[in-house]
Structure 1
């Protein structure tokens, strides 16, 4: 007899069959093929619809240019910092909102010029034959497509479709928004080229460009975009420092229109040059503005003093008057000029000190040279403070980091504190000089008071006039000097290689990337689905899974029955399916021999649940025994849900139930079948107490009587996983066959079977895998030893019945129809 030690290991094993897993995945090849076809089709459609992306560059250099007119005698002095600081400033400026606002406004890039392409609208900037002259103070329709069709060379038709009664407007003069009411529907109107369009939602004049080419009958589209949104799109200009030279910058942009990219790159550099030069000239500009305001008051003062001098000279012998005071006049003028210079310096220091303490914007500070101050500490620090203040105001539009602003504020605070200390020191020295000059002026005035009254009056008037004239001349000289310096200044930014469309520049779309992505997704999507099915599906798929789940021997693999009848072996005795049952018969005979079973042999066939093929296996195993001329009987012991009578077209009025309640004898309930040597005993009418009838002594008597008449007794029992009837019948059986159906029986039921065998509730148990399809997605076949596996290869030719060719063709046609519907 078989002993439990022959299959003592019942626990699930965690080994993973990688090869089997790959074969399962390969079984779903149709899914992968369809998924790949769909993904590649989508990638192709995306590629042909995507606009081409171009990348263009321009190359500039940053070189600190000194003014050729700066000399050691030049009063205006500038200090702009090192080149590295300026490169960082330029990089920040190029990406700042304020800078890009100026460029977008100059180029009017908030206007889209479009034409209809094969799949979508295409940016036609630079290719349209016209340009729009906007009235920026009035509103323009925002976001909507405006169709412009040229009826002739001088007349165009305006067409707009309004879906809502209210539309948004934008006023580009101040970038504000508003709305206006319109009539829902299509608006159409014709205008002449150059005619002013004055509508509640449009205000422009359309002008034809020089050399426009042929455009009659062509349709173009115009769209007005939000100003701030447009600026944000262009803030992404890439700025990269050259590895070989830190002062060389590469500016690059990407877009769908090369003409638009070329214009923007060159315009942004030109705007940068202008702004940098304006910033560089800020020192001179502040000086000129201060001198101009001073000269206005000096002119009136000089005129007033001149008129006073003319009035005094009238009716006087001016020669006699002047002779006595010339030497005193020249001397005191010299002292007055010295005093004025000192006074202006002190006034400048006082004004600068007050400005530093009360203001935070130092970009308007005048140059110290306007007051004749040449102290390098004062000049350099004022220049540095102006540069830092200007740079900080530039960064306010582009940089959001509070740390950077704090760093600038700390630098300006340090310069300001140094300046305040310098002012205190400089003022102390000037106060001493002023006291000295005042004492000299006092000595000269005491001598003058001894002169005649007319000479004193003349010296007094001439003294005022000469002082005013001297100051006025000095200021004119300094203004002229500032103008010359300003005009001679050079920008530190230079074009090395302006942006230009020389062909090429195509960087996208990356069609190959899309196809690679399609390949990846085409494999990944069905793979994920298969994995979900694999991990969610808890049913038995192949023999390998059975061997991993249990050590109970597997003695047979039965294929799928393609016929409508259950009598597969009898109808096609040479089929592969019949051979699989014969293989099971051989295994059973070996088991009976091993157990030394003499005489009649009993076989119980059960399963976990209904639908796994117990009755089908019972009939065909009994048939192979009968075909070997062994008297065989099938006993239907599924008293709850009998099916056996349907397969043999018998009446279920009498059966086992009638015998157990002593209504009928064995002969009365035995039915002969069309198969020689095979009888069948049906279950009979469904009783109210099937479990009690099964455990009654009458069943033992029935088995004993059948052993006297038959060689093989096949017991068709109910599922052991649902009811306990089969467990009660195990005592009458020599061997138990447990039917497992592929892709139907659950793995948990095998664990339950292991427990029952381990506890001894089922003895001499073997497993039969039913409904097996030798396809990759179910794993590998079980091999030659069980009949059905080798029936699918060329070695089976001549041993098994072949299906008619017409039947194969019909199956192929049906499969193709299903695929087409899918």
Structure 2
């Protein structure tokens, strides 16, 4: 488990100890492996459980396509507006409800095809060898799976698990829904391909998709969804206008099935292209319909006039009659044609005025030029009012709110006012022209009355026929012009890049990105935890921490023990840990020599709090002195919490307390150990007044007597940070060793130690750094914890120290590898 004691907050340091932090990071490599394993497992699960999301797009251009057959001689106007208004209008139409309803209905995209996988239902539209085409006028099972299975190349099976006695059905022609009765069991039936399946709850034809290889017995789930919900989903199509080319639109969809999105994008453009071209040709259609209606009535008039002329010719000498009226025939035709043209214009204006004042839909107005009106104001304004009327008709499907209607109604009303004024002005001018033509015709008719009766009758009949023939030919020409212009019209929408599956477009889940994120998160999470603990905790981590807090010298570094008791030096005399205590012994001898101390030498060990290894260090320092054949004794002065007895298999029934209170003599409290030259005086029973006993004269006598018998006296005292006993004992010691344990001793304890030394409460004090473990060494946790080389690296200590095999499979493996490399 992660030990909070392994991290510290550096006080009285201005710089971040990156080296120490890095050591801690490497030392907890197992945390990183666990974290990475978890994050990579999550990434893997995300990748396999989520469907892939793709993006498909298409690009179209919007422009004003002028009719290539439209010239100054063409008597119809079909082109108005501009791309600036059309682009936004087309973009809005692509999102409109009415347009998407047409696309969904034409593709029957309310029908879903699924295959069930381990984690989700996969949309397999276009990826299965069949297609279901429903009869929209009949009811279909609503929002429930129907299982389809191809049993052969021309037969299939459907099955429906009915759980209730009635099911909901829907008729897509009008959206009607109802409930029909069914048998609450699984319905299973077999049919042939292209056979009409007509059931109370299903009506469809199944056709084969030759583009997909046939897979028999593959179960496909088909479901018929809500029409309106399907339309709403596709109304979310993304549309963007190119910033550099405002006439370029990019349409895109996101989903799990690329075939479905390709079909929808291409269909939505094709349907709008057709609709836009139909609207563009509406002017021509209206004109052709008007001309056809006029020609139908003119055919009868022309036929009657022709028959009447034939009858007259058979009963009279036409040649003689023609000669007498020849001078008037041409004049009559000329003015009759002019009169008819003016009257047709006036009649159109009257009809247009009546239409404008009484109607609200102007999309069916014929072109003014069909009546010979070429006044630019009237021609252009009629074209505009038709355009705005079509826009208003489409607006109810593309927008909400009255503000858009009000704008168009305002535009239409303005055009109506201008048109009515133009109509009145032109009608006055035409009436003047009509009066002049009638005056000329009256003069000619007056001269004709002077001719014989037969000549007058012939001129009357031929005049009527020629006028009808001229008018009929004129309308035929107009109709031909309208048909040519209609056929040559082009849509303003064109494909630049149709939607196509080119094997790209993956939006997510990004499997590689997920694994990269898993790697980063797997590293960051334990790194953040280590970082937080590194700053939250305030324990001593390394030698630099000690030197940064105190100026008290460091006398030695002791590693971690790996035997059950505290007799590490005695049981493993050649271990690196034993060498560390020998190094401390050498340093102590230097200190004693510096003091010019002869005779018995005393050494006191204390610490901040319990658990820092004070007793462990006392026993092993005493052991190294004893192994050098120096009479050594350990004096247990921790009267409150006695410890030194279990490791030597001795009892704590009598000891220092018994001597100090006068119950026992010194010889009676000294106990021999199994280590040569090493004796022990345990603390004995716990007294009620330990401080007073230490301050007694008996304590001085005991120390004087021990100095006569022993070379080294090791005083094991209570923690100086908890009780004052150690301060009282310090007077009997030439050297004081203060035990600091890695990841345990707090830095503020060393600050208190500094204050005590400054006040002179503790003198000749040095520090032992106990429990040191450089986990980053070799990257395995193998280092000081398995023996501290104290100046020698792993390879150089070979032959000098006993090699202790580390614990743990991974550490043992690396230990063996290093051993082979030596």
Calculate the TM-score normalised by the size of structure 2.
0.76
Check whether the contact 1:67–1:488 (CA below 8 A) recurs between aligned residues.
Answer: yes
Contact 1:363 1:386 in 2 (8 A): yes
Where 1:685 maps in the other structure, the secondary structure is coil
Tell me which moved more, 737-746 or 329-338.
329-338
SS at match of 1:795: coil
Q: What is the CA–CA distance in structure 2 between the aligned matches of 1:747 and 1:386, rounded to whole Å?
A: 90
1:380 is paired with a residue whose SS is helix
Inter-partner Cα distance in structure 2 for 1:539 and 1:800: 30
TM-superposed deviation, 1:771: 1.7
Relative to structure 1, the CA distance from residue 595 to residue 98 in structure 2 (aligned partners, 3 Å threshold; closer, same or farther) is: farther
Residue 17 of structure 1 is matched in structure 2 by 17
Is contact 1:558-1:769 (8 Å) kept? yes
Deviation at residue 277 of structure 1 after TM alignment: 0.7
In structure 1, the residue matched to 2:670 is 670
Can you list the C-alpha shifts for 1:353-411, whole angstroms capped at 9, x where unaligned?
777xxx6x8756664446654332343344345446656776886789x99x87x9769
CA distance in 2, matches of 1:567, 1:496: 88
Aligned CA distance change for structure 1 residues 233 and 342 (closer, same or farther; 3 Å): closer
C-alpha distance in 2, partners of 1:437/1:771?
Answer: 124
**Contact in 1 for aligned 2:739/2:768 (Cα 8 Å):** yes
The 8 Å contact of residues 56 and 253 in structure 1, kept in 2 or not, is answered as yes
Tell me how far apart the structure 1 counterparts of residues 86 and 123 of structure 2 sit (CA, whole Å): 36
Residue aligning to 2:794? 793
- The answer for the alignment partner of 1:109 in structure 2 is 109
**Partner in structure 2 of residue 424 of structure 1:** 421
Task: Tell me, in whole angstroms, the C-alpha distance in 2 between the residues paired with 1:340 and 1:691.
Answer: 134
In 2, Cα distance between equivalents of 1:176 and 1:688: 97
Note the C-alpha offset of 1:580: 0.6
Number of the residue aligned with 2:586: 586
- Give the distance between the partners of 1:755 and 1:421, measured in 2 at CA: 103
Distance across 2 between alignment mates of 1:110 and 1:720: 84
**Alignment-derived partner of residue 520 in structure 2:** 520
> What's the CA shift for 1:620?
0.8
Change (3 A) 1:799 1:415: same
**CA distance in structure 2 between the aligned counterparts of 1:422 and 1:146, rounded to whole angstroms:** 60
Offset of residue 182 of structure 1: 7.6
Residues in 2 aligned to 1:166 and 1:771: alpha-carbon distance in whole angstroms: 79
C-alpha distance in 2, partners of 1:569/1:285? 112
Distance 1:216 1:561, change over 3 A: closer
Aligned partner of 2:352 among 348, 352, 358: 348
Q: Tell me which moved more, 614-623 or 162-171.
A: 162-171
1:705 is displaced (CA, Å) by 4.1
Aligned to 1:132: 132
Contact 2:287 2:370 in 1 (8 A): yes
CA contact (8 A) 1:155 1:190 kept: yes
Question: Kindly tell me: are residues 67 and 716 of structure 1, through their superposed partners in 2, closer, same or farther at Cα, counting changes over 3 Å?
Answer: same
* Residue of structure 2 in register with 1:278 after alignment: 278
- Deviation for aligned residue 1:134: 1.2
Q: How far 1:615 moved relative to its partner? A: 0.9
Report Cα offsets for 1:775-799 as digits up to 9, x if no partner.
Answer: 2089999999x96444651221222
Distance 1:44 1:285, change over 3 A: same
Contact 2:335–2:440 (CA under 8 A) maintained in structure 1:
no
Q: How big is each residue's C-alpha offset from its partner over 1:93-147, in whole Å with a ceiling of 9 and x where there is no partner?
A: 4555544443332222333334567987655444533321213355545665432
Paired residues of 1:339 and 1:438 also in contact (CA < 8 A): no
Do the aligned partners of 1:782 and 1:789 also contact (CA within 8 Å) in 2?
no
Please give the alpha-carbon distance, in whole angstroms, between the structure 1 residues aligned to 2:165 and 2:657: 86
Q: Provide the residue aligned with 2:552 in structure 1.
A: 552
Greater mean alpha carbon deviation, residues 141-150 or residues 434-443: 434-443
Which string of whole-angstrom CA distances, capped at 9 and with x for unpartnered residues, describes residues 479-532 of structure 1? 67545533342223445676667x755868765445444443443344344434
What per-residue deviation string (whole Å, max 9, x for no partner) do you get for residues 612-644 of structure 1? 211111111122222233333222222222111
CA deviation digits over 1:402-427, x for unaligned, max 9? 99x87x97698568646644643653
Distance 1:688 1:602 in 2: 27
* Contact residue 97 and residue 235 of structure 2 kept, 8 A: no
Query: What is the number of residues matched between the two proteins?
Result: 775
Unaligned runs of 5+ in 1: 1-9, 310-322, 453-462, 817-822
Aligned partners of 2:100 and 2:234 also within 8 Å: no
3-state SS of paired residue (1:633): strand
Say which SS state the counterpart of residue 796 (structure 1) adopts. Answer: coil
Task: Please tell me whether the aligned partners of residues 576 and 791 of structure 1 are also in contact (alpha carbons under 8 angstroms).
Answer: no
Structure 2 CA distance, aligned partners of 1:730 and 1:711? 18
Bigger mean CA offset, 259-268 vs 98-107: 259-268
Name the residue aligned to 1:6. none
Q: 1:98 to 1:23 in 2, by over 3 A?
A: farther
User: In structure 2, what is the Cα distance between the partners aligned to 1:148 and 1:547?
Assistant: 80
In the alignment, what sits opposite 1:172? 172
What secondary structure is seen at the aligned counterpart in 1 of 2:109? coil
**CA deviations over 1:528-567 (Å, ceiling 9, x no partner):** 4443443445433332333334333222211111111211
| Residue 520 to residue 329, structure 1, CA distance change in 2 (3 Å) | closer
| Cα offset, 1:581, TM superposition | 0.8
Give the Cα–Cα distance (whole angstroms) in 1 for the partners of residues 41 and 743 of structure 2.
34
Structure 1 residues 124 and 618, CA gap change in structure 2 (3 angstroms): same
8 Å CA contact 1:557–1:768 kept in 2: the answer is: yes
Partner of 2:453: none
1:663 positional shift: 2.9
1:321-368 deviation per Cα after TM superposition (whole angstroms, max 9, x unaligned): xx9x9999998997687466346426635754777xxx6x87566644
Deviation digits for residues 149-176 of structure 1 (CA, Å, limit 9, x no counterpart): 2345554332345689997765533567
What residue number does 1:820 align with?
none
Q: Does the aligned pair in 2 maintain the 1:558–1:788 contact within 8 Å?
A: no
Structure 2 gaps of 5+ residues are: 1-9, 309-324, 450-462, 814-822
Change (3 A) 1:331 1:86: closer
Tell me the CA shift for residue 271 of structure 1.
Answer: 1.9
Q: Deviations over 1:3-51 (max 9, x none)?
A: xxxxxxx962132232333333222334444554565566667667887
Check 1:177–1:727 CA distance in 2 against 1; reply closer, same or farther (3 A cut).
farther
Match of 2:817 in 1: none
Whether 1:149 aligns to 2:146 is: no
Q: TM-score of the superposition, structure 1-length normalised?
A: 0.76
Distance 1:795 1:114, change over 3 A: same
Moved more, 259-268 or 611-620: 259-268
Q: Secondary structure at the match of 1:204?
A: strand
CA pair 636-467 structure 1, distance change in 2 beyond 3 A:
farther
CA deviation after TM superposition for structure 1 residue 736, in Å: 2.8
Who is 1:711 aligned against? 711
- Name the CA distance, whole Å, in 2 between partners of 1:412 and 1:663: 121
Residues 11 and 550 of structure 1 are in contact (CA less than 8 Å); yes or no, is this contact kept in structure 2?
Answer: no
Cα distance change, pair 223–750 in 1 and its aligned pair in 2 (3 A): farther
Distance 2:47 2:674 in 1: 69
8 Å contact kept, 2:627–2:676: yes
* CA drift at 1:278: 1.4
Determine the C-alpha separation between the residues in 2 that align with 1:175 and 1:525: 54
Question: Shift of the alpha carbon at 1:605?
Answer: 1.9
CA distance in 2, matches of 1:79, 1:342: 25
State the 1:579 CA deviation. Answer: 0.8
